[in-house]
Amino acid sequence: MTLPKEKIYDEQINPLMAQIIKICKDNDIAMFANFRLGFDESIEEDLLCTTALPSGSDVDKKAIDKMRKLATGHYDLVPQVFGMTITSGKV
């Protein structure tokens, strides 16, 4: 059974994510997105859609791997806190 939020993701968000992923890949931009679509009773787990796309940088690969593990609950180390700030301006 498709959950209502899963249908919304499939029809509306997924096409946008495909565009975002292509732009990021074309320009070597690291990105991370995590969507919680609900609880699937048939498997007794949260239904998540996570996209983790590191750039060519090893630092990005390690950071995104940590974010993926935290977002999906597959992180066996002590709890960690991380923050993210997005700024824009001329370089």
Taking a C-beta distance cutoff of 8 angstroms, is the pair 70, 44 a contact? no
| Over residues 31-45, mean pLDDT | 76
Percent of the chain with pLDDT strictly greater than 70: 67
- When the pLDDT of each residue in the chain is averaged and rounded to a whole number, the result is 75
Identify the bridge partners of residue 48 per DSSP, sorted by sequence position.
36
Confidence at residue 22, expressed as pLDDT on a 0 to 100 scale: 92
Rounded Cα distance, 44 and 38, in Å? 11
Greatest alpha-carbon pair distance for the chain in Å reads: 50
Confidence of residue 18 (pLDDT cuts 50, 70, 90): very high
